Structure 1
């Protein structure tokens, strides 16, 4: 497992981040098997959010054993200060820990939402207070959608977030506007030495059909790549960008071992692009977003 420096936090974290969304629809035994596999494979960054089913509770069972050897991050769902303060303490209780290494303002993908969380009485105030009290180590921001990179660039201009979690994969790279916004974000993140993490690495397209969510094979809201050759290429392509400190693994436990295998068997960016150029039905997952 490769480890990269998490920006100015200085922590060396695994390039694969265990995403708690993978645990949203599993029982405790299945959750434990998946967490154990990640730990055995060298994953030391575990991320989650309050709305990922029972993921925080699943993590909480492991905390007495692993808390001192992992980097633990979760997210704030509320947009206002008081709601965010409740979110933070509820997460601490579910995770069975006294301190979260990174708290993130969650799913901030447009300027209107950014105004809410960073404005007077917004969620950011609670995150800052939690950091001042020592129950949170760092503050980050996450988001989905075509507007996420531009929104996160503006976020870094308003507040020195230590981390950013934003979408990036090969098909998004081919979209001129998205690529320009992402490259501008990379430049600012480098200037501030903020850690840049990404999501949607193995997203293939939206689920297809009139009622796509009823027939989906995975717990992800988008259809992922699941053939190992495509997963290998998608993971290799994103990790070939040295500015990326880590990628969140996809939100289904069945995809976790495929991404772990892909990290081990890396290919060059050129070879990865060749595979992805020939991947069938490959398109942005943001053509149609779930409500």
Structure 2
């Protein structure tokens, strides 16, 4: 991933943070104190409000030298109070890599989420069985139907596993606005613990109906691509963080984007990709201190929309 344009763009943005005003203490360092926690509505279980997504960045060859920096990132994440890690069998080697990382005591400290993306009961059940093997665990906290693939069959399979105590929560995922037309009626007719949806400061469609519906139906919300993949980092590259970001304890552009997402009360946990200790420390800073109020959110939207 060293040559990834997304990582290169983020590095450029973070390098530019050296220009941050002196009144923003702790820029690019993890602040002290507990992380903001949001409850899972169906159970009341609190979750730290920032998690790790493993798509792409954890799809490395599962050998010690490739896994080592990822292990360091996960260990730092847990040490700072993070728990939620999201993966999927369709993310290449990510489940295998994560399974190795979580050995030796980390598994018990992590809220582990994966997905099912096969069609038909038999194929879906077989894929989930492989996930248990690859993740080296006998219990997965959340299994979600990936991209709404065969929800009737796959939800039935996951609910069977939940009844047996092997899965704790059931959900569904989407990653683009075009899937909302199918997602919304599913949310209305099914009892789901979680949904996972795309939402970012430059892609706010989920806030119109999907997030309010999740709140109404008592569903926790994971947010994928909260940085808009590389769109947001490209948009702010070379720009200083506006001074008014200090009003909601924001010390970097990644925190700016994440605090915007977290300021929506329907959101439980954004899951940005974090493959380096520095990214873990910076991103978790978004789940500490104040969040932007409605007026600040409108100001943030206007700022980004004008770029």
Q: Tell me which residue corresponds to 2:52.
A: 18
Q: Trace 1:128-207 onto structure 2 (pairs within 5 A).
A: 128-173=159-204, 178=205, 182-203=207-228
Which consecutive residues of structure 1, in runs of 5 or more, have no partner in the other structure?
208-221, 283-291
Structure (1/2) with the larger strand percentage: 1
- Which residue among 121, 125, 132 is the counterpart of 1:81? 121
1:46 aligns with 2:88: no
Do the aligned partners of 1:233 and 1:267 also contact (CA within 8 Å) in 2? no
**Residues 260 and 224 (structure 1 numbering): CA distance in 2 closer, same or farther, change over 3 Å?**
farther
- Which residue among 235, 240, 247 is the counterpart of 2:270? 247
1:64 is displaced (CA, Å) by 4.2
> TM-score, normalized by length of structure 2?
0.72
Q: Secondary structure at the match of 1:268?
A: coil
Which 4+ runs in 1 deviate beyond 3 A? 204-207, 222-229, 251-258, 261-267, 269-282
- Tell me how many residue pairs correspond in the alignment: 253
Across the aligned residues of Structure 1 and Structure 2, the Cα RMSD in angstroms comes to 2.8
**Residues 204 and 78 (structure 1 numbering): CA distance in 2 closer, same or farther, change over 3 Å?**
closer
> TM-score, normalized by length of structure 1?
0.76
Structure with more contact order per residue of length (Cα contacts < 8 Å, sep ≥ 6): 2
Q: Secondary structure at the match of 1:241?
A: coil
1:150 is displaced (CA, Å) by 3.5
Q: Tell me which residue corresponds to 2:12.
A: none
**Residues 58 and 206 (structure 1 numbering): CA distance in 2 closer, same or farther, change over 3 Å?**
same
Q: Tell me which residue corresponds to 1:287.
A: none
1:40-77 alpha-carbon deviations (Å, 9 max, x no partner): 22111111111223222232232440233321111112
State how far apart, in whole Å, the 1-side matches of 2:279 and 2:108 are.
27
